Amino acid sequence: MDLLDKATRGERLIQGEIEALYNLPLPDLAAAAHQVRVVKTNPNVVTYLIDRNINYSNLCIIGCNFCAFYRTSRQNDAYVLSYEEVSEKVRELESVGGRRILMQGGVNPDLPFDWYLDLLRFLKSVHPGVRIDAFSPEEILGLERLTKRPAQALLEQLKAAGLDGLPGAGGEILVDEVRHRASPARIGAEDWFRILDVAQRLGLYTLASMVIGFGESYAQRALHLSRIRAQQDKAKARGDTGFSAFAMWTLQTEHTRLKGKVPGATAHEYLQQVAVARLALDNIENQQASWPTLGFKVAQTALYYGANDFGSTMLEEKVVSAASGHKRTHATEREIVREIVEAGFIPAVRDVFYNIERFVDPEAVLSQARPQNLPAS
């Protein structure tokens, strides 16, 4: 219990203490995490974002064992969207009031660097009010190998062409022993942090992520959190924004080569991890509750385990959906508002930096006859 007192007093836990949290009773962890959350963030409000996922291509040469989304060039359902097709999806987002896209693909050696620059320029010219958070550190590493140029030069050019943020996808567990056991060709932890660090220095939006369920130990989860926290210290010491939030979900293996080979994670473990992260990450204010993998009710519960945000609508999310056996991984604004209100909080729309854009009148949203922002396809 000393550990929980220490964390709720705002004192930093060292890595061994973070690991020890996993052995404490879940209700005690939850109470402490919620106590920290209500002090650090608006206690009555839960935020969310209206956005859209766009997967510009599913071609990828990395071949992660936990990925059911990627295709090789020999498969007939491999695709690369045209700029106009991407733009059409952005138009659908704009029609439901969204102004942010999360755009990712695979590592596709057939797309030259100029293709990405031209795509960003095209989207910014047609949709100047939409922010583009795109590409994973893995995609940037692929571009480094393709162009033989460093991330710094690539990201500077991508930013000048219209890139607003580099979401921290592919974090999983940032311990190479875990990463490479699951997927030998996966980007290593050092490169993941190196590329995120460049992005943060350039003022791009970034997010810290985690996926549990690879069979990683508590010590490895604690190490992951410690490394994220150290990166955030580094960014903040320079005066950078650093990670805007921490988001964590459970590994989905249903349609992947890892099915039956790794334990995955239960709802209990997920909630435990949400609480541990809130207590460990003393320098990251915002934490998302993740509904796509374990459902709305577990996500609602997470709002009392340290989370203060309900994520985003994620229209047309495909990567988690493919791995999970095509669970629905997008939500309507109406559904998100309903879950937040039912959990006892005031819903508010935010931007990617967690500034509140507007408080939402639940009655107005919930009285809508049917979902208003499902994707057209």
For the chain, helix (H) and strand (E) counts, in that order, are 15, 10
Binding mask 11-50 for ligand SF4 (x = CB under 6 A): ----------------------------------------
**Minimum distance from residue 120 beta carbon to ligand SF4 (Å):** 19
The whole-angstrom separation of Cα 45 and Cα 38 is 10
Q: Does 172 bind ligand SF4 (CB under 6 A)?
A: no
For ligand SF4, the closer CB: 63 or 150: 63
Residue type, 85: E
Among residues 8, 20, 42, 63, which is the contact residue for ligand SF4, using CB under 6 A? 63
Per CB under 6 A, which region of 19-27, 56-64, 80-88, 276-284 contacts ligand SF4? 56-64
The whole-angstrom separation of Cα 266 and Cα 152 is 39
The whole-angstrom separation of Cα 44 and Cα 321 is 31
For ligand SF4, the closer CB: 69 or 345: 69
For ligand SF4, the closer CB: 214 or 304: 214
Scanning residues 131 to 160, which ones bind ligand SF4 (CB under 6 A)? 138
Determine the size of the site formed for ligand SF4 (CB under 6 A): 10
For ligand SF4, the closer CB: 222 or 251: 251
In the block, which residue shows the tokens 């690991």?
Answer: 19
For ligand SF4, the closer CB: 107 or 173: 107
CB 309 within 8 A of CB 47: yes
Among residues 67, 207, 265, 360, which is the contact residue for ligand SF4, using CB under 6 A? 67
Among residues 29, 46, 50, 60, which is the contact residue for ligand SF4, using CB under 6 A? 60
Alpha helices in 127-265 (DSSP H): 137-147, 151-161, 176-182, 189-201, 218-237
Q: Does 215 bind ligand SF4 (CB under 6 A)?
A: no
Per CB under 6 A, which region of 44-52, 66-74, 263-271, 308-316 contacts ligand SF4? 66-74
**Minimum distance from residue 215 beta carbon to ligand SF4 (Å):** 18
User: What single DSSP character describes residue 155?
Assistant: H
Tokens of residue 188, six digits: 């290593």
**Minimum distance from residue 187 beta carbon to ligand SF4 (Å):** 8
Residues in the chain: 377
Q: Does 69 bind ligand SF4 (CB under 6 A)?
A: yes
CB 313 within 8 A of CB 322: no
**Minimum distance from residue 104 beta carbon to ligand SF4 (Å):** 8
CB 137 within 8 A of CB 187: yes
CB atoms within 10 A of CB 325: 13
The whole-angstrom separation of Cα 278 and Cα 287 is 7
The whole-angstrom separation of Cα 112 and Cα 354 is 34
Q: Does 106 bind ligand SF4 (CB under 6 A)?
A: yes
Per CB under 6 A, which region of 4-12, 60-68, 123-131, 294-302 contacts ligand SF4? 60-68
Scanning residues 259 to 288, which ones bind ligand SF4 (CB under 6 A)? none
**Minimum distance from residue 67 beta carbon to ligand SF4 (Å):** 3
Tell me the CA distances in angstroms from 306 to 92, 99, 234, one per residue in order: 33, 27, 24
Beta strand 309-312 with 286-287: parallel, antiparallel or unpaired? unpaired
Per CB under 6 A, which region of 67-75, 199-207, 243-251, 307-315 contacts ligand SF4? 67-75
Q: In 3D, which of 121, 56, 125, 53 has the Cα closest to residue 93?
A: 53
Q: In 3D, which of 133, 131, 212, 121 has the Cα closest to residue 172?
A: 212
Tokens of residue 39, six digits: 């002090």
Q: Does 189 bind ligand SF4 (CB under 6 A)?
A: no
The whole-angstrom separation of Cα 128 and Cα 308 is 30
For ligand SF4, the closer CB: 98 or 167: 167
Binding site for ligand SF4 (CB under 6 A): 60, 62-64, 67, 69-70, 106-107, 138
